[in-house]
Structure 1
Amino acid sequence: MFGGIINSISTFFAINFNIVQSMNTWMMGDFSSVLEGQYEMIYLTIPPLIATYFYANRFTAAGMGEDFAKNIGLNYQAVITIGMILISITVTVITVTAGAISFVGLVVPNIISLLYGDNTQKTLPLVALFGALLLLVCDTIGRIIIFPFEIPIGLTAGCLGGIIFLILLIRKR
């Protein structure tokens, strides 16, 4: 419901400022708008990504619960706050650059966690690699299906990610 309210407000401003096409690209992730002079902001994600990797063990401990984190000497609230700030910066910059691409952040980490465990520092590079591979596959599919036109990567990632997520939910283990 909150997303619907934000969508309504942003649509209102998009119509008034004649930027409906740009807003639709942002709402549905698409790599076709990532051109020279428009992707350089992505470099702002490098410091938060490095910090995330160095804080990964603390995030793993905080993920085990507040009591566990406090028992091993972590300031639980500080770790959670730092994690949320790093994630917010990274996701914001990527969304502004390429648009919203759903299910990548849900499906890939869960599959990697099932295969390799919950050690964040060990699995973080794997999540990045397999997330990039999933986006590459989705982009290729989106370019092939109705060639010479292109289906936005947000749509193909949403469909493929939704199917994979349903399989993960239904699968008994």
Structure 2
Amino acid sequence: RAIHPRTKSTRFSALTDNILQSMQGWLLGDFSKIVQGHYEIIYLILPVVVLAYVYAHRFTVLGMGEDMATSLGVNYLVTSAIGLMLVAITVSVTVIAVGAIPFVGLVVPNLVALYYGDNLARTLPAVALSGATLLLVCDIAGRLLIYPFEVPIGLTSACVGGVLFLILIVRRAQ
């Protein structure tokens, strides 16, 4: 199987500059690089979370469909654009800080919605706490799995999230 020449040069540059592990951190999320001076960008998420909570009721109404949201007085296009902007900012800041961490945004909100319902204003704190708990458990497991080495949190969360996602799919199919 041939590798694209640009990919070869990127890997070679990363290898010669001793940043191959940092490049892999973008592909698999990793908390090992999070030290003072490298996490402050996450503070950008705080106002975004406040805005998401302010708009939570409107996002719940948006989930009912365009016709229902319009009839309830919510501007569908503007509110969905605001929601997409808030999600894009949150995801981009998180990926810049720690890399890609799969399945957290897919599995956790669905599990919380199954338990608490679809009211976003009520479930948003539970989603945040559940996602943080899942990441903490995955990070601890990744640090203990092959001690004294560390498995990236992206890999452990992909394994745990993949299993949980399959359980959700099988459960819905029944």
Q: TM-score, normalised by structure 2?
A: 0.90
* Aligned-pair CA distance for 1:88: 0.5
| Residues 1-173 of structure 1 mapped to structure 2, 5 A cutoff | 13=10, 15-16=12-13, 18=17, 19-172=19-172
Q: Secondary structure at the match of 1:131?
A: helix
Identity across the alignment (%): 52
1:153 maps to a residue whose letter is I
1:19-69 deviation digits (Å, cap 9, x = unpaired): 432111121001001111000110011111100000000000001100000
SS at match of 1:106: helix
Distance in 1 (alpha carbons) for counterparts of 2:7 and 2:85: 24
DSSP 3-state at the match of 1:97: helix
Q: 1:48 to 1:11 in 2, by over 3 A?
A: farther
Partner letter of residue 80 of structure 2? Answer: I
Distance 1:144 1:41 in 2: 28
Contact map agreement 1:11 1:20 (CA 8 A) in 2 = no
Letter paired with 1:147 = Y
Corresponding letter in the other structure for 1:154:
G
Deviations 1:106-164 (CA, angstroms, capped at 9, x unpaired): 00000000000000000000000000000011011111110111100000000000000
Show structure 1 runs of 5+ residues with no match: 1-7
Letter of the structure 1 residue corresponding to residue 30 of structure 2: D
- Give 3-state SS (helix, strand or coil) of 2:105's partner: helix
Counterparts in 2 of 1:74 and 1:159: CA distance versus 1, 3 Å: same
| 2:138 maps to amino acid | C
Higher Cα Rg, which structure? 2
- The amino acid that maps onto 2:110 is N
Quickly say closer, same or farther: Cα 1:10–1:25, change in 2 above 3 A.
Answer: farther
Judged with a 3 Å threshold, the aligned counterparts in structure 2 of structure 1 residues 11 and 127 are, in CA distance, closer, same or farther, namely: farther
CA distance in 1: counterparts of 2:118 and 2:6, whole angstroms: 39
The separation in 2 between residues aligned to 1:14 and 1:120, in whole angstroms, is 43
Q: Could you say which residue in structure 2 is the equivalent of 1:5?
A: none
RMSD (Å), alpha carbons? 1.7
Please give the secondary structure, in 2, of the residue aligned with 1:33. Answer: coil
Asked whether the 8 Å contact 1:45–1:93 carries over to 2, the reply is yes
